[in-house]
A = this chain, B = another copy of it.
Amino acid sequence: MSSSSPPADGDPAPVFSALGDPTRLALLSTLSDGQPRSIASLSADAGMTRQAVTKHLRVLEGAGLVSNIRVGRESRFAFAPGPVARARSYLDEVSARWDEALERLRAFVQRPD
């Protein structure tokens, strides 16, 4: 298999790390409308160089958050929903554990029986 395909990863830290940058978050938000865009198109809205946007897109691709296909002379990037769903479920687990702990504490503290 290729060496740059981490789509089914179990560790959510790289995904969160990729999301932890305002530029990348904006790129992902733009791409989440379902329309693939070229690097030049995405660079037009960002306030930096095309090369910088390219690097951010490579990071997002490395985390599996976007996919990249070459069409003609431009490379189009598209949103990939998998890692977002996994990150969401991880946060769900953390929240659930916290809620359970709160519930246990509440049941212990107001024990009227």
Find the residue from A12, A21, A34 having the highest chain B CB count within 10 A: A34
Which single residue of chain B is at the shortest CB-CB distance from A35?
Answer: B101
Pick from B21, B28, B91: contact of A84, CB under 8 Å: B91
Is the CB–CB distance between A94 and B98 below 8 Å?
no
A74 to B84 Cα, complex, angstroms:
38
Q: Which residues 92-111 in A have Cβ within 8 Å of B in the complex?
A: 92, 94-95, 97-98, 101-102, 104-105
Which single residue of chain B is at the shortest CB-CB distance from A91?
Answer: B88
A104 to B87 Cα, complex, angstroms:
25
CB distance from A88 to the nearest CB of B (A): 4
B residues less than 8 Å from A33 (CB atoms):
97-98, 101
Q: Which residues of A are in contact with B by a Cβ distance under 8 Å?
A: 11-22, 25, 28-29, 32-35, 79, 81, 84-85, 87-88, 91-92, 94-95, 97-98, 101-102, 104-105
